[in-house]
Amino acid sequence: MIDEAALLTGQKHLFSLPDGIHYINCATRSPFSKAVEQAGHDALSQHANPFGLHPDDFFAGSARVRSLFSALVHNPDPERIAIIPSVSYGMGVVARNLPNKPGIRRGQQIVLVDSEFPSDVYAWDRVRAELDLTLTVVTMPTDSPRGDRWNERILDAIGLDTALVVTPAVHWMYGIRFDLEAIGKRAREVGAWLAVDGTQSVGAMPFHLDAVQPDALICAGYKWLMGPYSLGLAYFGPAFDEGIPLEESWMNRLDSNQFHRLMDYQPVYRPKAYRYNVGEQTHFIQMPMLETALTQLLNWQPDRIQDYTRALLAPAWASLEALGCSVEPANGSTGRSHHLVGLWLPDHADPMAVTQALQAERVSVSARARVLRIAPHLYNTPTDIDALVSVLTNVL
């Protein structure tokens, strides 16, 4: 039962989105809140004059962000969080260390979900060739409902010959959820690593690290974390503690905050995930923006964002289904999410033409394959959803 007292109301007043713009497209990029925007302006002003900058200032902002992100995903150890520039970087870390995974052997498989985002696919090409691994892509069922059967297929695909499982919590095109707790349990049973792309879920949907127990959780920061582009966060578990980083940043070494001793070259890394930080991880302008965004998300709480977007979209489904559209049912951990929903269009509809018609009426969603990806957030109101339904009614 939903606690009515805990429900969020619309937060559009905290954003600078103009009236008449119906931006239902957070899965492409989130708008900055006014607070995040101001944090960026403040950082620019501060660093216009860098006088008085101290060595610890190069590390303090990222330390706060690690703690905030850890709270968001219920991670008890912020030292397991790395600052990364992109999902491809984080998956690159996994690929770089896969040859050193205990028990790895030729002929094993990497399990992926169908139609995954390219950064979660290209990462494995080189290591797959080097280790003679195979790639098993678990296809999505063609008939609705798809979620239960897709999850069953994934679990069936994970066996003793599996070295790595790569999956999101929510499919980036369709909004279908994957039962990460069940997938994680199955991966551990067979000794496989689990790498989760949380980009389209973390921040808008609850994630409990202790329940899933991934070996890696990788998130871009500019979507549901509501931060700036080219800045992301990744959790790396114990399997990566003695691993090989993608680059050898001086900041990732022990005592690197002691600038007067930097020429005393240090062979030892800082503990746990620090070795995987991107070079120049300080991000003097962007880090305060991400810090502000994460602080706001912790105040809003992902479960309340789910409740808000569920209630926001609920009145639209009957009208859209009457037009011949369909959505995956809401079915717990294997149904659709509420912040990102794939709307299957009728066969006669051209997704790109539909998107252009929506854009002409200042309604922003994304076309992905044969679905429209609808991705609302707290800045959306019923007016935005009414505009979406109105245009689709006219077009379809």
Q: What is the CATH number of the domain that holds 160?
A: 3.40.640.10
- Whether residue 263 sits in one domain with residue 158: yes
Domain end among 297, 317, 341: 297
**According to the model, what pLDDT value does residue 2 have?**
47
Residue 199 domain-assigned (yes or no):
yes
- Whether residue 116 sits in one domain with residue 164: yes
- Whether residue 371 sits in one domain with residue 358: yes
Supply the DSSP string of 333-396, one letter for each residue.
GGSB-SSSEEEEPPTT--HHHHHHHHHHTTEE-EEETTEEEEB--TT--HHHHHHHHHHHHHH-
* Closest to 378 measured CA to CA, from 18, 3, 40, 24: 24
Distances (CA, A) of 233 to 40, 62, 222, 286: 19, 10, 11, 13
Enumerate the β-bridge partners of residue 205.
202
DSSP one-letter code for 261: G
- Whether residue 201 sits in one domain with residue 113: yes
Residue 51 domain-assigned (yes or no):
no
Phi, psi of 342 (to 5 degrees): -90, 120
- Whether residue 348 sits in one domain with residue 245: no
* Closest to 167 measured CA to CA, from 367, 333, 373, 377: 333
- Whether residue 242 sits in one domain with residue 182: yes
Name the E strands within 161-317. 162-168, 193-197, 216-220, 232-236
Question: Could you tell me the two tokens for 314?
Answer: 């609920």
Residue 10 domain-assigned (yes or no):
yes
DSSP one-letter code for 84: E
Domain end among 274, 297, 320: 297
Ordered mean pLDDT values, 10 residues apiece, the chain (396 residues): 67 96 98 98 94 90 97 98 98 98 96 96 96 97 95 98 98 98 98 98 98 98 98 98 95 87 88 96 96 98 98 97 96 96 95 94 94 97 98 96
Integer Rg of the chain from CA = 22
- Whether residue 320 sits in one domain with residue 210: no
Per the structure, the count of domains in the chain is 2
Residue with tokens 């790595």: 164
**According to the model, what pLDDT value does residue 3 have?**
54
Residue 43 domain-assigned (yes or no):
no
Question: Could you tell me the two tokens for 20?
Answer: 């008449």
Residue 42 domain-assigned (yes or no):
no
CB within 8 A of 354, min separation 6: which ones?
A: 345, 367, 372, 392, 395, 396
Residue 39 domain-assigned (yes or no):
no
Assign residue 373 the CATH number of its domain: 3.90.1150.10
Question: Could you tell me the two tokens for 290?
Answer: 């991400």
Question: Could you tell me the two tokens for 146?
Answer: 């798809």
Residue 50 domain-assigned (yes or no):
no
- Whether residue 81 sits in one domain with residue 185: yes
Domain end among 267, 282, 297: 297
* Closest to 240 measured CA to CA, from 129, 125, 82, 84: 82
The tens digit of pLDDT for each residue in 348-370 reads 999 999 999 999 999 999 998 88
- Whether residue 88 sits in one domain with residue 66: yes
Residue 354 domain-assigned (yes or no):
yes
pTM of the model: 0.95
- Whether residue 320 sits in one domain with residue 201: no
Mean pLDDT estimate for the chain: 95
- Whether residue 198 sits in one domain with residue 66: yes
Domain span at residue 377 reads 4-32+302-395
- Whether residue 275 sits in one domain with residue 310: no
The tens digit of pLDDT for each residue in 10-43 reads 999 999 999 999 999 999 999 999 999 999 999 9
